[in-house]
Structure 1
Amino acid sequence: MRTGLLLIGVMLWGCQERLPPAGDKIPVEADAALQQAPVWELYSLDPDVELDEEDPETFHGWKVLGSVEIKDKSTRQKLLDSLRASVAANPGVVAACFSPRHGIRLKQNGEQHDFVICFQCYHIRWYPHDKPESAFNPTDSPADAFNSVLQQAKVPLPAQPK
């Protein structure tokens, strides 16, 4: 029994995210960029199609199903508030998987910030300057708000987790 539990623990450890979680808040620089950017581009990603991360047709290696620019400040604020609340509410849970269905790209002060988001696995990878910087852990609660914005713009959604 102990050997089986040890083996499972080792397997799960190997599947953990390479970047350490930032804690119970969105990293300060990431939060500032999300708050201050005049436009977000919200992506719908196919979590089942991981491609070459260097391919410019992908979003950090994930197939893009579509995207929409979010210029409305109140919509951006609503999504950011839901992200902040979900990160604060996460008690440190993160799954070993990574099946992102959402992404955000924004430009702030001449710098690009990308967020690859997997609400199902409670994990967001943050890429400032196109390099992985950090990761943080939301809950799945913002998924419906993000999907609603995409649906209103007639952007296709991937299959949803069961």
Structure 2
Amino acid sequence: MRKKITLMVITLAIVVPIISAITFPVVTQWWDAPPDLPREPDEVILFSVQFDESGEGPKAGDNREQLYKYSVLGRVAITDPERRREIVSAVQRDIRAGAPAQARCFYPRHIVRVVKDGTTIDTVICYECHNFKVHVNGGFHRGLTRAIGSESRPLLNQILADAGVPLAP
């Protein structure tokens, strides 16, 4: 019995460090922070999107524009540089401030597209569960994101409403 325990301890002492060394680069990639949004963007577009609870994407006959499997209800391009900075600043503040907790639903209703020097960063936001995803130049950012605050939500909703863009229920 004692030999088995000793053998098990020695095996674990050898195997665990090897597995850790192999998986460490992968694990650290998961925790990469999303890129900061540029303070002086060349372009900002707000999208109002509707999620599909089935996760299957658009149904047959749904001809609405799709962005990351979400139906686009409308969009507004922000032309005023000061307004662009206000939006970027509000969303970045929410990313940094976070929220007390995250849920798992991820039913996004907002996408904020920020373009600077040819790089496009799309922030897909679910204020309901305080989760967000980041896509850089259309690709998915592999890092995990922490909870996002919701102080920017009224601003984004107001801009979309003022432009006559419907909001998802």
| TM-score for both structures, normalised by structure 2 | 0.67
User: Could you tell me which of 33, 36, 46 is aligned with 1:30?
Assistant: 36
User: Could you tell me which of 139, 149, 156 is aligned with 1:131?
Assistant: 139
Residue 90 of structure 1 contacts residue 139 of structure 1 at CA under 8 Å; is this kept in 2?
A: yes
RMSD: 2.6
SS of alignment partner, residue 123 of structure 2: strand
Residue 64 of structure 2 contacts residue 71 of structure 2 at CA under 8 Å; is this kept in 1?
A: no
The alpha-carbon deviation at position 144 of structure 1 amounts to 0.8
Aligned residue pair count: 133
Q: 1:142 to 1:91 in 2, by over 3 A?
A: closer
SS of alignment partner, residue 111 of structure 2: strand
Residue 105 of structure 1 contacts residue 114 of structure 1 at CA under 8 Å; is this kept in 2?
A: yes
State how far apart, in whole Å, the 1-side matches of 2:118 and 2:95 are. Answer: 27
Is the counterpart of residue 154 in structure 1 residue 164 in structure 2?
yes
State how far apart, in whole Å, the 2-side matches of 1:143 and 1:21 are. Answer: 25
Aligned residue number for residue 48 of structure 2 = 44
| TM-score for both structures, normalised by structure 1 | 0.70
Quick one: percent identity of the two aligned structures? 24
Unaligned 5+ segments in structure 1 are 1-18
Output one character per residue of 1:64-97: Cα deviation in whole Å (capped at 9) or x when no partner: 0000001212212222222233233325522111
Unaligned 5+ segments in structure 2 are 1-28
SS of alignment partner, residue 31 of structure 1: coil
Output one character per residue of 1:15-39: Cα deviation in whole Å (capped at 9) or x when no partner: xxxx95656xxx3x3322xx23222
Q: 1:80 to 1:126 in 2, by over 3 A?
A: same
Q: Which runs of 4+ in 1 moved over 6 A?
A: none
Larger radius of gyration: 2
